[in-house]
Structure 1
Amino acid sequence: MRNIFYIVIAVIFLASCKAKQVVLPDPVAEQVKAPNWVSSRPNNGFKYIGVGFSEKSKGENYQIEAKKNALYDLASEIKVDISSNSVLYTVQNNNKFNENFNSLIKLSNSDNIEGYSLVDSYENDKQYWVYYQLDKKEYADLKARKKQLVIDKASNLIAASFYDEKNKDFSSSLKKRIQSFGVLTPYLSEEINFDPQQTNGIKNVFDLTNLIQTQLQSINVVPQIKSPVLKPYQATYSPLLYNLELKSKTPLQNFPLMVASDEGEIMVNERTSTNGNGEVQIKVNSVEPLNQNVAFSLSPDINTLMASDSVSNAGIKLLKQFIQTPALKVSANVTNITIHVNSIENNFGKQTGLHSVETYIKQKFNGQEIRLVDIPEEADYIIESIAETKEDISSAILSANYNIKLAALIIDLQLKNRITNEVLFKTQVNDVYGYANSLDNAGLNAYSNPKINAKLAESLFFLKRKILVY
């Protein structure tokens, strides 16, 4: 009986313990609830808000990507107001320009924002979210201090540019003025004023852009007595040389330029630069027949000038909205290649009076790119042709057996550069024969042999390639 009592007590105790047992939640199964700011954007009249997220599937840098998106979102809240006294106001009717400028400001702000703080973050198995905020008053105070530092930097660059100008360093002076505009780019929608005593009378960005414009317009082309000459279809071309100077008659030294041909038939290298003497070379790559005066445009290459400096391409693009880079015109004459044909046609030492070889050569060089001249001094090239007949070695056998004479025609061809007197090509045309009862008639018959044209055509093809490259 006592044993039964103990068993009942044990069962009651175990049942009581089981009733009090606490079931712990599964931490893996429980899902963290997304905060309200993920689904509903926060609103704070004293703070700029930035919320951004990134897909975790993008890789290990998803947190950096989310932060970048949040800061860009924060920057987009910072409104860009265009002051009526700003440079940007002058082009505010250009909607496309304003849109690009605002995007540039936002990107610049997202790269340079300071004083923001992380409010919260959230992540699930697919996304990572961050929430930043920036005090509006702190931002305004910080921006004002930074703006003044930028204005001071720009003022120092402008002052230094006048020192370079005084020392006749055109490129360095212009670079400093463009640099000063570049550092001011984030503030072009606002009013910017300089201390004119520090900047040599430059009061604002309007004065600065006018100064840059005036400096670029001070470049001139030194007049040439005679324009350079171009010939069509040449293998190589000597560079065209021109001289550039400033209005002060000082050579424009070591300054980069963009080159453009006004004629589609002439191809040139797009970039060049003056040397220490102000000489600029235009490298010509190809010329087609035009037979006229042609022009080339030389424009200041600001991008190359500023390539090693801190001014961004976006800043230079903005500057070009306010200035005009003048295009200087230089010219050259495209003329025919002139050829003089000097032909001698003998038959056993006597002139034939036929001119058949000369006529055929001239026919082969008849084209829009070539002009034949009668005066050697007017020619670029001289083709010398000496044709002579002689009795062939087989003539004796034919004469003994058939009373027939055999004459061989030999033509020596030579191409010379008339100016340098250099022989550019030399060959001999042979294997052309004529036969008759006498040597004189056999020689004349050789000149009328149809084979002569085929032989001449082959040799003239290679000769012509020394003059023209199609």
Structure 2
Amino acid sequence: MINRSKISFTIILTTSFIIGLGILDAQSKRKPKWVTDRPVDNNYYIGIGKASKTESDADYLEIAKNKALADIISEISVNISSNSILNQIEDNTGLQETYQARIELSTMDYIEGYEIVDSWDNKEEYWVYYRLSKAEYKRRKQEILDRAINLSKDFYEKAKEAEQEYDINNALIYYVKSFDAVKKHIGEDLSVFTMEGRIYLDNAIYQSIQDIFSRIKIVPEKEIYTLQALSSENEPVVVKVKLKTDLETQSISNLPITFSFPDSNIGESEKVLSLNNGKAECSIASMAPKGKAQIIKAELNTEVYFGEDSPDNFLKKLFNERGIKPYGYINVVVNEIIAYLESQELFLGNYSFNHPITRLLEQELSKNFFSFTKDIERSDVIVRIESEVTPGDKLEKHNLHTSFLNCNIRIIKTASEFEIYNETLQNIKGMKSGSFEIAAKDAIEKAEKEIKNKIIPNIRKINLY
């Protein structure tokens, strides 16, 4: 016979156990105190991160961790040393503010050694609690800073040695390396003892480069150069690169110099190195517009040392904003070439009396190389232009028309009838709705760009004499 009392007791005991498990599970899901009340610990930086389990398919564990680490970083105050270069420069361009923000971001480099304290989650949220020992953070930060300062000091002393030997190229290279070694720490006190005594590395590097720049002189050998356009027989156009010292000026070799045309629309530039005698030769001078005095700028190519523009290139931005760069000017006069023009243009099957391509070419050639004459006997060269615009297809559905332009340009020496230039623009396509004439105008506009961007630069390379 079944003992009903015993069965009832078993059911009660089982039910109590299940209820007990439910209570324990509910207690385990209850939010811990650190979720609602932020912990405070004088020995640790605290980071709390939260991520939704439902809003994103991304890894909520990683999201919460990253938020917690960002929270730790936000607790770490960043103080700019009164001796930092950031506090030594007058700044109207936001340079200080920009780099102070970047210094704050670099704090991430020092927060290794953080540890997880706890985590909590429910169906919707995941929370995590990290901490970082303040003592460990301080130790690691100082360790990284000491390594950077020692490396910077080594490069700085090499730069000083090179400067004393008038090896200015290597001096600048070492100064930049010295700055790069500590650029993540320019908000810190970068004081160090050298043969000069106590210096602040960031300021000393900047001042040393500035001093070199102020003493570099780039001067032309002649007050004015007279050249012939499109000639290989022109005298060399030369600047001397010198360093002013207390007693004399010293010729400087191996410095990168850039020549350019600051006052004209010529996009050409040239990069050279100064020779052992300090001279640097400009081979693009004859490209200057003809007929009147033109300026060629010769300047130190600081990109060789500072590199290209980038958000963390503080040194380049500093010198660019302050306009400190050694340069000099060369005065040149390029004598004009007398040209006689012959042209024939066909426009959609008829002779063109407007000569649109001829007018475009004559304008550009006059601006850059030639003076045109109507007397062939006076000319140095003959410019022959043949162009034709032909109709293409018509798409009835959209009333879309196409036209094609072909053009040949030849330059011939008048005296010898020797051809020195021959180039063709082929099948330049114009496409417009309305008519073949409108499409032809589109082709002519495209040809104008080709003349400026291709024909004129190629003519510059001709050696006429």
Q: TM-score, normalised by structure 1?
A: 0.60
**Number of the residue aligned with 2:214:** 217
**Number of the residue aligned with 1:13:** 6
Q: Is the 8 A contact 2:290 2:335 kept in 1?
A: yes
- Matching of residue 423 in structure 1 with residue 419 in structure 2: yes
Q: Is the 8 A contact 1:122 1:130 kept in 2?
A: yes
| Shift in Å, 1:116 | 3.0
Q: Is the 8 A contact 2:111 2:132 kept in 1?
A: no
- 2:46 is aligned, of 34, 46, 49, to 49
Q: Secondary structure at the match of 1:148?
A: helix
Alpha carbons of structure 1 residues 196 and 14: separation in structure 2 relative to 1, 3 Å: closer
Please show how residues 26-37 of structure 1 align to structure 2 within 5 Å. Answer: 32-37=29-34
In structure 2, C-alpha distance between the alignment counterparts of 1:383 and 1:249, rounded to whole Å? 49
In structure 1, C-alpha distance between the alignment counterparts of 2:110 and 2:272, rounded to whole Å? 36
Residues 267-299 of structure 1: CA deviation (Å, up to 9, x unaligned)? 235x83426566365769997778442343634
Q: Is the 8 A contact 1:265 1:287 kept in 2?
A: no
| Shift in Å, 1:158 | 1.0
Q: Secondary structure at the match of 2:193?
A: coil
In structure 1, C-alpha distance between the alignment counterparts of 2:418 and 2:412, rounded to whole Å? 8
Q: Is the 8 A contact 1:338 1:373 kept in 2?
A: no
In structure 1, C-alpha distance between the alignment counterparts of 2:302 and 2:185, rounded to whole Å? 25
Residues 81-112 of structure 1: CA deviation (Å, up to 9, x unaligned)? 23333322224876933432221112111123
| Shift in Å, 1:156 | 1.2
In structure 1, C-alpha distance between the alignment counterparts of 2:149 and 2:80, rounded to whole Å? 18
Q: Secondary structure at the match of 2:187?
A: coil
Q: Is the 8 A contact 2:382 2:414 kept in 1?
A: no
| Shift in Å, 1:179 | 1.9
Alpha carbons of structure 1 residues 35 and 20: separation in structure 2 relative to 1, 3 Å: closer
**Number of the residue aligned with 1:23:** 18
In structure 2, C-alpha distance between the alignment counterparts of 1:44 and 1:334, rounded to whole Å? 76
Q: Which amino acid aligns with 1:267?
A: G
Q: Which amino acid aligns with 2:107?
A: N
Q: Secondary structure at the match of 1:195?
A: strand
Q: Secondary structure at the match of 1:184?
A: helix
Q: Secondary structure at the match of 2:313?
A: helix
Which segment drifts farther, 319-328 or 159-168? 319-328
**Number of the residue aligned with 1:305:** 305
Please show how residues 44-443 of structure 1 align to structure 2 within 5 Å. Answer: 44-54=41-51, 63-91=61-89, 96-124=94-122, 128-197=126-195, 200=196, 203-205=199-201, 206-225=203-222, 226-227=224-225, 242-243=238-239, 245-247=241-243, 248-253=249-254, 255=256, 261-263=261-263, 265-269=265-269, 272-274=271-273, 279=280, 291-296=292-297, 298-302=299-303, 304-307=304-307, 313-317=312-316, 319-320=318-319, 324-331=323-330, 333=332, 335=334, 337-339=336-338, 368-369=366-367, 370-371=370-371, 381-383=380-382, 415-416=412-413, 422-424=418-420
Q: Which amino acid aligns with 2:13?
A: K
In structure 1, C-alpha distance between the alignment counterparts of 2:22 and 2:180, rounded to whole Å? 59
In structure 1, stretches of 5+ residues that fail to align are 1-5, 343-360, 386-412, 427-464
Q: Is the 8 A contact 1:210 1:323 kept in 2?
A: no
| Shift in Å, 1:48 | 2.2
| Shift in Å, 1:133 | 2.3
Task: Count residues with an aligned counterpart.
Answer: 364
Q: Which amino acid aligns with 1:316?
A: L
Q: Is the 8 A contact 2:119 2:126 kept in 1?
A: yes
In structure 1, C-alpha distance between the alignment counterparts of 2:240 and 2:169, rounded to whole Å? 13
Alpha carbons of structure 1 residues 340 and 183: separation in structure 2 relative to 1, 3 Å: closer
Q: Is the 8 A contact 2:47 2:72 kept in 1?
A: yes
Which segment drifts farther, 64-73 or 100-109? 64-73
| Shift in Å, 1:213 | 0.8
Q: Is the 8 A contact 2:214 2:326 kept in 1?
A: no
In structure 1, C-alpha distance between the alignment counterparts of 2:251 and 2:285, rounded to whole Å? 27
In structure 2, C-alpha distance between the alignment counterparts of 1:12 and 1:332, rounded to whole Å? 119
Residues 231-253 of structure 1: CA deviation (Å, up to 9, x unaligned)? 6xx9xxx9x96545231543441
Q: Is the 8 A contact 1:219 1:252 kept in 2?
A: no
In structure 2, stretches of 5+ residues that fail to align are 244-248, 342-357, 385-409, 423-454, 461-465
Alpha carbons of structure 1 residues 118 and 147: separation in structure 2 relative to 1, 3 Å: same
User: Cα RMSD between the aligned structures?
Assistant: 5.0
Q: Is the 8 A contact 2:44 2:132 kept in 1?
A: yes
In structure 1, C-alpha distance between the alignment counterparts of 2:93 and 2:268, rounded to whole Å? 36
In structure 2, C-alpha distance between the alignment counterparts of 1:371 and 1:469, rounded to whole Å? 15
Alpha carbons of structure 1 residues 114 and 295: separation in structure 2 relative to 1, 3 Å: same
Q: Which amino acid aligns with 2:315?
A: I
Residues 191-232 of structure 1: CA deviation (Å, up to 9, x unaligned)? 3322132xx55722333311111123333324132437586x
Larger Rg: 1
Q: Which amino acid aligns with 2:254?
A: Q
In structure 2, C-alpha distance between the alignment counterparts of 1:121 and 1:94, rounded to whole Å? 47
Alpha carbons of structure 1 residues 181 and 384: separation in structure 2 relative to 1, 3 Å: closer
**Number of the residue aligned with 1:347:** none
Please show how residues 441-460 of structure 1 align to structure 2 within 5 Å. Answer: none
Q: TM-score, normalised by structure 2?
A: 0.60
Alpha carbons of structure 1 residues 223 and 96: separation in structure 2 relative to 1, 3 Å: closer
Q: Which amino acid aligns with 2:115?
A: S
Q: Is the 8 A contact 2:49 2:127 kept in 1?
A: yes
Identity of aligned residues (%): 20
Q: Is the 8 A contact 1:267 1:284 kept in 2?
A: no
Q: Which amino acid aligns with 1:215?
A: I
Q: Secondary structure at the match of 2:241?
A: strand
